[in-house]
Every structure is written in structure tokens, then in C-alpha cells.
A and B are shown apart, each in its own frame.
Chain A
Amino acid sequence: MTDQKINNVNVQEQPKTPCPPAQDIHHQLKEPLVRMTKRGVVTTRQKVIVYVAGFILALVVGALMLLAIGKNPFFAYRDMVVGSFGTAIASAETIRIAVPLLIASVAVGFAFKMKFWNIGAEGQILAGAIFSSYIVIHSINNNNYIGRLPLHLIMVILAMVGGALFGFLPAYFKTKWETNETLFTLMLNYVAIHYVAYLQSLRSWQHPDSTYPKIVDFATFTNGKVALPRLFGVHIGWIFAIIIAVIAYFYLTKTKHGYEISVVGDSLNTARYAGMNTRWIQIRTLLISGALCGFAGYLQVAGANHTLTATTAGGVGFTAITVAWLAKLNPFVMIPIAIFIAMLQKGSLFIQSTMRIPAAAADLLTGLILFFMLGSEFFIEYKLVFRSKHHAPHIEQKEVSA
């Protein structure tokens, strides 16, 4: 039935060739060489294949760069693994790097899930470190009168208050006056860093016999009270980090709060429609996000460094953004990814001494991997269709314009 009716439109004239052969090759217009089309259902297996391929490609490109500076990439990769997990000491050091990274990743993951672009983890970690250092200095300057356990409790509380404050400010202003949280959190990083520089210049924070702008070593001056105990060679912060990741997973997936975060993140209007207090949800989530970062700051002071410097956060707050996205904001997945990134960082320090490859190689590789992983997203959504020779139609422009 379909063809007959339409045919009566065309019967009048003598048949022409349905596909006029193109004579003037210069004027051919072809189907585009490559075009994108959307994939339908994507199986988990396909996704895994794309991600693995992306990861391998990142390593290959990294290898090419190593080759370009005249280094053997196989030795370099091997040494990175050996340097990060070859010995017990190396492994402990790697995990030590991973601890604040994991906590900060979980923290920014909370905010990102709500589409609140908190890139101020660096500042929030430092805020936690600064706040907890205050009580340590106070105790030192008053004959160490605070006992070990109370000291740590107060440090934790202060650290979390400090981090939460740094999370609260951008959330308050965003929900009140729609300020841009990205700029706000970024700027707060510098506030924290320069505040540390100020503290370093204070006489009461320095070594009594020195005028060098450096804050005292807390472990020595508190008779070891500040130093966190170790388990398997690493300060016990790693246990907290794993507990935090696990709790965060359940918080996000099983609780009302986590549900509200998902709704607010996906559609603010729907959240309002459902009667959610969107303002409080955003502030609450940033308080938690900041407090977690503050806790990481406490671990850096009490566990890793035993002092406060402008590099106490050491870029962890920024690397955490990468970890959170690579893990697709899933706190469980953040555990292996944080360890992997820590491994790259530790390993590159190792190859710096053994192979004289700049330690920046770690950042380069991290960047490459992130780049290829994000690129993989594209190939999961779309596939490329190349021009096929079978039905490539063509046109003669001259005829058209005639």
C-alpha cells in the first residue's frame, strides 16, 4: 500500500537515471569522513574494555614521552612499582601519601555529587591543620598541661570546626547571593596558605632558640604526645580513612541525607518541588565536606608531619578532585584509586633518584590517565561511523545552483 499512492505522483515523465553518475569529480560533496552516532545500551563489559583500553593508551603515551627524553619506559614503570611497593618502608610511605588523599577525595565527592564545585579542599585541609595546631602550641607554651588523649580529642574537634568553617563560607554565600563557589573556594585556599605564613612568623610558634620562620616540631616539644601511634608501619590515620570511605558510601546511598544530595545535585527545582530545604542541604553537605578535609589536616599534623607548614596540604586538595572523578564519585572506588595515585607519586620520587627522571613525571602520568579516562566517557556514549563506500551519495554543485 505504501508505494502505489506515492507513485502516482511520478508516473508522468520518462525515467531518468535515479542516481545521476557524478562526472565532475572536483565538485563532489561527500558524506562526512567521520561522524558520531549515539550508542544504545552499553554493557558493563563494553565499558570495562573502553576503560582498560584508555588506561593502556595513557601508559603508552607516557612511555612515548619517556622515550622522547631518552629513558627506557619499561625500566621506568618497573622502578615506579618497585619504588612504591617494593619494600615495607616504601609501601608504608605510599600509604601515608594515600591517607589524606582518600579522605579529601571523599570530601570533595560529597560536594561534587551535589554539583557544588568545591575546589577548596586544599584550604579546608590547611584550616583543619591550623586550628588543631593552635591547641598544640597553646599546650606547649603552658608546660604541656593537656594529656595525650584530651589533646587529640580537642585537636580533632578543632580541625573539623576549622575545615567546616571553610566549607560553610562558600556554601552560605552561594545559597544567599548566588556567588560562584569555584572562585570562592579557590580563593580560600590562598587565605589558608598565607595564614600559615603569618603563623610561621609569630615568635610564640617558633623554636625558642631560633628566629627562623618555622613552626616547632610538635612531637619533640610535646614529648611525643602529638604523634599518632602506628600500625603496620603507618600512622593509624589509614584506618580512619578506610572507615570514612565506607561510611561515606552508605551515607550517600542509604540515608535520607544522601538521597537529598542526589536530588539537589540533579535538579534543584525538583528538590524545591519536593519541599526540600535546598539551602540547608547545601550548607549541611559543605559543612561535612569541609569537616572531613579538616580531619585530613589533623592527620597530616598529628600523623605525618608533626608540624604545620604551608605545604601541609601539599596539593592533596587538588589531586583529590582527580581521584573523585576517576572513581565516578563512588567512595569505595576511591580507595584503590587514591592508592594508585599515591603509588605514582611515590614511584616517581624513586625514579627521580634512580633514573634521573623529573618527579613531575607522576603529575604527567596522572594527567594523562585522567585525560584518557575522561576521553573514554565519550566512547562509551558515542561511536564513530566512518564514511562507507557503499552508499556515499554525491552531488554536482553546478547543477544545484543552476
Chain B
Amino acid sequence: MLDTKPITVDNVVEMRHICKSFGTVQALSDVHFALRRGEILSLLGENGSGKTTLMNILSGIYFPDAGEIYVNGNHVTIRQPKDAFDLKIGMVHQHFKLVDVFSAAENIVLGLPGGRTINRRALARHVREIADQYGFEIDPDKKVYDMSVSEKQTVEIIKTLYRGADILILDEPTAVLTPQETDKLFDIMRAMKKDNKSIILITHKLNEVLAVSDRVTVLRKGEYIDTVLTKDATIQSLTDMMVGRSVSLEIDCPEPQNIEPILKVQSLTVLNQDGAKALDDVTFGVNGGEILGIAGISGSGQRELCEAIAGLYPVTGGSILYRNVVDGHEVDENVVGLNPNDIVKKGIALAFVPEDRLGMGLVPSLNMVDNIMLKHYRKKKGFFVDRKTSRQIAERLVEELQIVTPDVFTPIRKLSGGNVQKVLVGREIDTHPRLLMVAYPVRGLDINSSYTIYNLLNEQKEKGVAVIFIGEDLDVLMEISDRLLVLSGGRVTGIVDPRCTSKQDIGLLMLGQSIDNEKGADAV
């Protein structure tokens, strides 16, 4: 057993028999973990496998129910983040913890002991030294609100280095980066490794694991599975460990059939709250029977686009034309200026799965029946609601989509993320839409639930529904989409055929650059 094995100084961190539960959910059971000095270790697992929980224990955010932690061979107790700092452990969280109105340098020293004043010049020099050492690009005086996501991440990493961290935990650092930015981050990680720092990379992206790490530790459903050397691993072997059985990695992508235009967006411009253009002259069309993927760095206007089409965001200019059938004639109806209820009244069958499911789209404290009622409670005449119909729909969806819930009267906030999403997607599809808009539909879902969603979308496409799929995982987007629209800073930088465009080129489009034509032609 592991207990009797030595604690070696080579292992800078060792965690043994770690258990942690939240209510009835066993997040970690008897998990082992070891990190060597000067290595990059990938902590791999699906969403909900306990990766972040395990690292939150190491960085002092959670306290384990049981288990032991050794740092540099010493048995330690980490009760709070400060204890972790003292042990030179630093974590960069997925959601950045920065003060918007402070500069990079101010954020870096925030919370550190010191005198009443900050010697800004010395501080800036120190920050630059760290940046130069590892190859970061940073302007210490830039305010956080002016920064891109990747710059904010740089600040977070330098913050931990400034505090003297030798053990760095990066929680899904590439989720918000373009392929180019990701490569840069990996170079920095390699430079830090050369400096004898130990790095833990939490991720569920297999190609990143293979690209950058020395070893991989795999967790599945809160249990420790295995640790292997990266050079001995393949995508398939890692997937099998992660999922527990062989999964086909192919997403079905049937050829579009019976194409007819359903939606035309012309020169759409919307302003955000600050009056800046969130969408700038956006023009595209979607046909029935196809999936239009929308790629882009998060915050490039995806949310505004969806909400504008759904009648939830004020439009400054342009038009949104739905192909609608009125009295047997096909007409293009402009829905700009209409609210969601007006759109329904026009007989337009639009379904929308927003990105923030529990904040928009569902009512967390109501049960499944009441949540399903949201879309059709108005249809019944009279003063009272009709729960019978939605109860039938709810029970059918539970069966068809294998939603795990004690019963249909449990508040949906008690369900897991995947099941919440199945309720939402199931309800939207049940309205028999002609246009289905889904924003980040598999965010936070395990692989099996994700594939359930992909299959549902493909089913809709085959039924002739026009599907708009906004995603963040480029691999998935390129596989499932028939056409791929790339947004950058609110502008359409390209609409490409994902089957004959390289990932690098799409990355360039995401950054707002155009693909040079010759290269594009070569790809075709």
C-alpha cells in the first residue's frame, strides 16, 4: 500500500487518502496524488471528476474530510489559503480574482504584508524581472479593466510567482485562450519548469496534456485512476481512463439536406451598456437542416448576438429576418424591436438555450414541471395554470433523455449541471422550433451528457431545423458545424467551411486577422 512507501524529497507534494464530500455528493474518495520537483503534471478528468476540488484542498480553500498532505516530505495541515502561500503553493483559478480598477502591479501586491506605502518603481521593476525571466508580456501600470483575458491570466500567474510560489496550480488556463495564446502559455510553463518550479495543469483537453506535460494523473468521478508518463500515453488511452470505457470520438456529422433559408441577419449592430459596439455590422444567414457554428474568444459578441435574435437585446441598426409562413405565403419578418412574447405571437418557432442556464432560461428554485411550463403556460386559456400537460412533458423528457432526478417535483437547482442542461434543451426542442439557438450547451457537462446534446442537435438538424451552435471547444465546433462563423470583437471575421480550414487559421480569425487568400485556397 502507498502508506508504507517512502516520502521522497523528489515529491514536492504528496496527497494521500484524500476524501471530501459536499452533502451527499462524494466529490473525492481516497484520492492519491504526487507531484515531482520541476515537472509539469497534468491533472486530467471530466467535469465533476474532482480535479478542482482536489487542488482547492491543496490551496487551502476546502478542508478535506480525511487524508494527509505532505509538502517537501513534511506532513502539513492547510487550513486556509495563507497556509498554502506559506508552503509556496500558488493557484491560478479559472475565474480570475482581480480588482478591476487596480493596475496589474497593484493587484500583484494586494493583500501582501508591507508598509503603508507602495514603492511603485521598485514594484514595477520586480514585476518586469519576473516577466522577463519567464517570457511574460506585461505592463505593470495597465488597469485590469483594460486587459484582455490572456493579460489578466498573466497577472494572476505573476501574482503567484511574486509571492514566491514554487508549486503552481493552473486551473483550466487555456479555456479562455486562442490557440496562439495557448502556445505562448505553454512556452512560459516550460520556462518555469526549467527554473525548477513544479506545475500542475488542470485540464480536460487531451491534446494539451500531450503537448506540454511530463506525467498525467487521471481522476474519474472523484476517484484516483492512474498516473502515467505522457510519452507512453495516447489520446485514446487517456480517454479510456477518463471515461472508464472506450468511447468513439467521432461526432456524427450528416450532410445537410433540404436546405432552405430560415434566418437572415443583415448589418446587425448593437451597443453594450457603455455605448460601445458589441456587434458591428454583422451579416449572415442560417438555413434549415444545417448547423452554423459560431466561434470566437469569449466576449466577442456571442451573447449579444443570441439575445438580439431572441428579442432580449436592444438593436441599434440592421435587421433580423425570419422566414415565416403566413396564410400559406412565405414572408421574411423583421423582428427587430419585438420582445420574446411578440415573436411567439407572430408564430415564429424559435428556441434558445442561453449560456447561463440557471440565470436565464430556467428558474432554479422551481421544479421541472414548473420550468417546462415556462414556455407554454400562456397557451392555455383562463386564469389558472395547467400543470398536467407540463408534467407529462417532464416525465417523458426524464425517460427519453435519462435525466437523473428524484422526481419531477424536485427544484432543479438540486440537479447536476448535465441534468439541468437536459431539462433546458429538452424543453426547447419540445417546442418544435424551426430555429434552435444553443450557447455553450456542453459547458460543465461530462462526456456522456455532451454526446447526448450533440446527438439531439444533429437530430434537429436532420428534421430540417436551423441550428446555431455557439461553442468554445474548437475541435467540437469544427466537427459538428456545417459552416463556421468566426466573431472577433463584435465583427464577423469569416464564415468558413470547417472541413477544409485549419485550426490555426480559425485561431487567426478569432484574433481578428484575416486568413491570407492563397493559404485559404490551398486548404480548399
Q: Which residues of A contact B (CB under 8 A)?
A: 1-3, 5-7, 9-16, 18-20, 29-32, 35, 37-41, 254-259, 262-263, 266-267, 269-270, 272-277, 391, 393-396, 399-401
B363: contacting residue among A2, A39, A266, A275, CB under 8 A: A266
- Residues in B with CB closer than 8 Å to A18 are 3-4, 7, 16, 68, 75
Interface residues of B in 53-99 (CB under 8 A from A): 63, 65-66, 68-69, 71-77, 79, 83, 86-87
**Cβ-neighbour of B34 out of A6, A29, A395 (below 8 A):** A6
Known contacts A10-B6, A31-B77, A255-B384; is-contact A273 B361 (Cβ 8 Å): yes
A13/B77 contact (C-beta < 8 A), A38-B23, A266-B364 known:
no
Q: In the bound complex, do residue A395 and residue B363 qualify as a contact, i.e. CB atoms below 8 Å apart?
A: no
Asked whether, in the complex, the Cβ of A32 is within 8 Å of the Cβ of B2, the reply is no
Please name 7 pairs of A and B residues whose Cβ atoms are closer than 8 Å in the assembled complex, sorted by A.
A12-B10, A31-B77, A37-B65, A262-B366, A270-B361, A274-B375, A275-B341
Distance from A250 Cβ to chain B, minimum over Cβ atoms (Å): 9
Instruction: Give B34-56 as 1s and 0s: 1 = Cβ < 8 Å from A's Cβ atoms.
Output: 10100000000000000000000
Contact indicator A393/B75 (Cβ below 8 Å): yes
The 5 closest A-B pairs by CB, nearest first: A40-B24, A275-B341, A275-B340, A40-B23, A269-B360
Given contacts A6-B226, A31-B63, A270-B362, 7 further A-B contacts (CB under 8 A): A12-B6, A16-B7, A32-B63, A37-B23, A266-B365, A272-B339, A393-B68
Check A29 against B366 for contact (C-beta < 8 Å). no
A256 — which chain B residues lie within 8 A by C-beta? 377-378, 383-385
Contacts of A12 in B (CB 8 A): 6, 8, 10
| Residue ID in chain A nearest B24 by CB atoms | A40
A-binding residues in B (CB < 8 A): 1-11, 16, 21-25, 32, 34, 36, 63, 65-66, 68-69, 71-77, 79, 83, 86-87, 224-228, 310-312, 339-344, 352, 354, 356, 358-366, 370, 373-375, 377-378, 383-385
Known: A267-B359, A396-B74. A38 touches B8 (CB 8 A): no
Contact between A270 and B385, CB atoms less than 8 A apart? no
- Chain B contacts for A29, CB-based, 8 A: 76-77, 79, 83
Q: Are B77 and A393 in contact (CB under 8 A)?
A: yes
CB distance from A302 to the nearest CB of B (A): 30
Instruction: Give Cα A270 to B16, complex, Å.
Output: 44
Q: Tell me the bound Cα distance from A20 to B227 in angstroms.
A: 26
Given the known A-B contacts A18-B7, A254-B385, A263-B363, are A391 and B66 also in contact in the complex, defined by CB atoms under 8 Å?
A: yes
Q: Is the CB of A14 within 8 A of B6?
A: yes
Residues of B within 8 A of A269 (CB): 356, 359-360
Chain B contacts for A13, CB-based, 8 A: 6, 8-10
In the complex, what's the smallest C-beta–C-beta distance from A213 to chain B, in angstroms?
47
**Nearest-Cβ distance from residue B30 to partner chain A, whole angstroms:** 9
A40 and B22 CA atoms in complex are apart in Å by 7
Choice from B32, B34, B344, B383 contacting A255 with Cβ under 8 Å: B383
Q: Which residues of A sit under 8 angstroms from B340, Cβ to Cβ?
A: 272-275
Given the interface pairs A10-B11, A256-B385, A275-B339, the reply to whether A270 lies near B363 with Cβ below 8 Å is yes
Would you call A2 and B310 a contact (CB within 8 A)?
Answer: no
Chain B: CB-nearest residue to A41: B24
* Bound form: Cα–Cα A277–B339 in Å: 9
Q: A279–B178 Cα gap in the complex (Å)?
A: 41
Smallest Cβ-Cβ distance to A3: which chain B residue: B2
CB of B75 within 8 A of CB of A394, answer yes
Q: Are A35 and B63 in contact (CB under 8 A)?
A: yes
| A20 contacts B75, C-beta separation under 8 Å | yes
Q: How far is the CA of A275 from the CA of B378 in the complex (A)?
A: 10
- Contact partner of A273 (CB less than 8 A), chosen from B21, B32, B360, B366, is B360
Closest chain B residue, CB of each to CB of A253: B385
Residues of the A chain whose Cβ atoms lie less than 8 Å from the Cβ of B16: 18
**A6, A11, A20: which has the most chain B beta carbons within 10 Å?**
A6
Query: Shortest distance in angstroms between B76's beta carbon and chain A's nearest beta carbon?
Result: 5
Interface centre among A3, A266, A396 (most CB of B within 10 A): A266
How many whole Å from B113's CB to the nearest CB in chain A?
15
Contacts of B74 in A (CB 8 A): 20, 395-396, 399-400
Complex CA–CA separation, A41 to B23 (angstroms) = 8
Shortest Cβ distance from B76 into A: residue: A395
Is the Cβ of A400 less than 8 Å from the Cβ of B361?
no
Given A7-B2, A18-B3, answer yes or no on A273-B34 (Cβ-Cβ < 8 Å). no
Chain B residues with CB under 8 A of A401: 86
Contacts of B383 in A (CB 8 A): 255-257
Kindly provide the distance from the CB of A73 to the nearest chain B CB, expressed in whole angstroms. Answer: 39
Contact B366 A263 (CB under 8 A): yes
In whole Å, how far is A300's beta carbon from the nearest beta carbon of chain B? 30
Name the B residues within 8 Å of A15 (CB-CB): 4-6
Within the complex, which residue of B4, B77, B356 is in contact with A30, where a contact is CB–CB below 8 Å? B77
B87 touches A11 (CB 8 A): no
**Closest chain A residue to B87, Cβ basis:** A400
Residue among B4, B344, B383 with max Cβ neighbours from chain A (10 Å): B383
Tell me the bound Cα distance from A127 to B472 in angstroms: 56
Alpha-carbon distance between A396 and B224 when the two chains are bound, in angstroms: 28
Residues of A within 8 A of B354 (CB): 273
Q: Say whether B5 contacts A31, CB under 8 Å.
A: no
**How many Å lie between the Cα of A135 and that of B289 in the bound state?**
68
What separation, in Å, do the CA atoms of A29 and B87 have in the docked complex? 13
B360 and A6 contacting across the interface, CB-CB below 8 Å = no
Nearest B-chain residue to A256, judged by Cβ: B385
B378 & A6 in contact (Cβ 8 Å cutoff): no
- Please give, as numbers and ranges, the residues of chain A lying within 8 Å of B66 by CB-CB distance: 391
Across the interface, do A16 and B363 meet the contact criterion of CB distance under 8 Å? no
| Residues in B neighbouring A267, C-beta threshold 8 A | 358-360, 362-364
| Closest residue on chain B to residue A388 by CB atoms | B66
Of A14, A266, A275, A401, chain B has the most CB atoms within 10 Å of the CB of: A275
Residues of A contacting B366 with CB < 8 Å?
262-263, 266
Q: Which residue of A lies closest to B360 (CB)?
A: A269
By a CB distance below 8 angstroms, the chain A residues around B352 are: 273
State the CA gap A391–B68 with chains docked (Å).
9
Q: Please indicate which of the listed interface residues A1, A14, A255, A259 has the most CB atoms of chain B within 10 Å of its own CB.
A: A259
Please tell me if the beta carbons of A270 and B359 are within 8 angstroms of each other in the complex: yes
- Report the separation of the CA atoms of residues A11 and B10 in the bound assembly, to the nearest whole angstrom: 11
B366 (CB) vs chain A CBs: closest residue:
A262
In Å, the complex CA distance between A40 and B26 comes to 11
Cα A274 to Cα B344 in complex, Å, equals 10
Contact across chains for B36 and A9 when beta carbons are under 8 A apart: yes
Which of A1, A7, A257, A274 has the largest number of chain B CB atoms within 10 A? A274
| In the bound complex, CA of A40 to CA of B406 (Å) | 13
Contacts of A400 in B (CB 8 A): 71-72, 74, 76, 86-87
* Pairwise interchain contact A263-B374, C-beta atoms closer than 8 A: yes
Residues of A within 8 A of B24 (CB): 40-41
* Most chain B CB atoms below 10 A, which of A18, A35, A396: A18
A15 to B36, CA, bound (A): 17
CB distance A254 to B384 under 8 Å? yes
Complexed CA–CA distance, A274 and B350 (Å): 12
Distance of A393 Cα from B72 Cα, bound (Å): 16
A11 vs B310: C-alpha distance in the bound complex, in angstroms?
Answer: 61
Give chain B residues whose Cβ lies under 8 Å from the Cβ of A263. Answer: 363, 366, 374
Taken together as a complex, chains A and B put the C-alpha atoms of A37 and B27 apart, in Å, by: 13
How many angstroms between the C-alpha atoms of A210 and B472 in the bound complex?
80
CB distance from A182 to the nearest CB of B (A): 22
- Contact residues in A for B65 (Cβ distance below 8 Å): 37
**Closest Cβ neighbor of A17 among chain B residues:** B7
CA of A255 to CA of B354, assembled, Å: 27
Tell me how far the C-beta of B391 lies from the nearest C-beta in chain A, rounded to whole angstroms.
Answer: 14
Instruction: Give the Cβ gap from A259 to chain B, nearest Cβ, in Å.
Output: 5
A178 to B358, CA, bound (A): 23
Q: Which residues of A contact B7 (CB under 8 A)?
A: 10, 16, 18
- CB contacts (< 8 Å) of A254 on chain B: these are 384-385
Q: B22's closest neighbor in chain A, by CB?
A: A38
Given A7-B5, A267-B363, the answer on whether A31 and B76 have CB atoms closer than 8 Å is no
Chain A residues contacting B83 (CB-CB under 8 Å) are 29
Distance between A291 CB and nearest chain B CB, rounded to angstroms? 18
Determine the residue in chain B with the shortest Cβ distance to A397.
B86
